[in-house]
Copies of this chain bind each other. A is one copy, B any other.
Amino acid sequence: MLAMLLGTAAPVAAQQPAAEARVDTAIARARAFIRDTMGKAGIPGVSITVMRHGRIVWSEGIGWADLEQRVPVTPLTRFRIGSVSKPLTAAAIGLLVESGRLDLDAPVQRYVPAFPEKRYPVTTRQAAGHLAGIRHYQGDEFLSTRRFATVAEGLTIFRDDSLLFRPGTRFHYSSYAWNLVSAVIEGASGRPFLAYMREAVFQPLGMRQTVADHVDSLVPFRARWYTADSASGIVNAPYVDNSYKWAGGGFLSTTEDLARFGQAMLDNALLRPETFRLLTTSQRTLAGEETNYGIGWATRKDAKGRLTFAHSGGSTGGTAFLVLYPAEQLVVAVLANGDGPFVGATPRIAEMFLE
C-alpha cells in the first residue's frame, strides 16, 4: 500500500543501516559484560561513554549511584576519577608550556620557591613522569580525612622527605609528585590551581560536570562510595577527604566529560598537536628505558598492536579508566563507585567496539 502511496518511486527502506546495527550489537555485549563484571567485583554502579569518530555512540548509567537511597546511575552521575585527574592536570601543563610560562626542565623551585632543595634538582618533567623519586602514599595516608585548604598545604605531607632515588633513574609512581606539579601550575599561571583548571581546561572544553571533590560543598549528582567486604558484602566506603591531592587524584567527573576531554585531545581542540605528542610520548630513564608514561598519560600498545593513551584511577570507593585509540578514533571512559577489580574490564569493552 505504501508502494502505492509513493507510486512508482523506490520503496522506503525500513532496515537499520549496517554501521548502526554493529554499534547496537557492541553495546548489548558490553552492557552484559559490565553487569556480569559488576556482580563479581561487588561494584554497585558504573557509568560508561564510548565515542567513535568524534561522536558519542553510547552513554549509559548501570546500577546504583546510591544504594541506601536507591538512586540509579545516569550519565550525569559524578564519580571519583582518582588518577584520571592526572591527564586533566597534564592539559594545564601543556597550555603553560605552549604559552612559554612553564619550562619543564627548570628546577621546580623556580615556580615553587618554598619547596625545599633536595640532594638532586627535580624538574616538572620528572615529577609529572614519576621519575623524580618523590614518594607515594605511606600507611593510611590514602584514607586521609583532613581538609587541606591550599595546594601549598598539601605539599607539607611529603616535602621534607628525601627523594627515593636520583631523579631520572627509576620510574616510581607517585601521586604526591602531582601535588608538586599543581604547585608548579600555580606558580607558572599565577592562579590558584583549581581556578586555573576551571578557566583554562574545563570551561573551554565544556566539562561542566568536572569539579574538585569538596566534601562539604553540595555537588549535584555526586555518587556515594562503596567497598566490597568479604564478610558483609558491599558496605559504605570509609570517609575520606581528598583535598590533599586535587591534581593527581581529587576530581569528580562524568564519563561524558572525560570522553569529551579525550576527544578534544585527539582533535587538538585545546592543545597543539606537538604539545599532546609531548604529553603522550613515553619518557625514558637516564639509562634509556621506556617508562611507557609521558606526562599524565600512559602510552602503550594493546594486544593487537594498537597504540593507546590511557590512565586508570583508583579511589576510596571509586574506579576509573579513560582510554584513547588515536588511530581508530575511539575513546572509552568508564567510572565506577566501588573499588573492586573493575579497571581491567575497559580494554575488553573497547575491543567490542573495534571488532
Contacts from A to B (Cβ < 8 Å): 1-14, 16-17, 20, 55-56, 59, 65-72, 74-76, 111-114, 145, 150, 152, 183, 186-188, 190-192, 195, 199, 203, 206, 208, 215-222, 232, 234-236, 238-239
Contacts and interface: CB of A to CB of B under 8 A. Distances in A.
Given A6-B186, A217-B236, 7 more contacts: A2-B114, A2-B183, A6-B113, A8-B113, A9-B113, A68-B220, A216-B238
A232 B219 CA distance: 13
Contacts of A219: 68
A114 B56 contact: no
A13 B74 contact: no
- Majority-rule SS of A interface residues: loop
A3 B150 CA distance: 13
A190 B12 contact: yes
5 contacts: A1-B190, A2-B113, A9-B190, A68-B219, A69-B222
A114 to B, nearest CB: 3
Residue among A3, A70, A145, A203 with max Cβ neighbours from chain B (10 Å) = A70
Contacts of A8: 113
A42 B165 CA distance: 53
A44 to B, nearest CB: 9
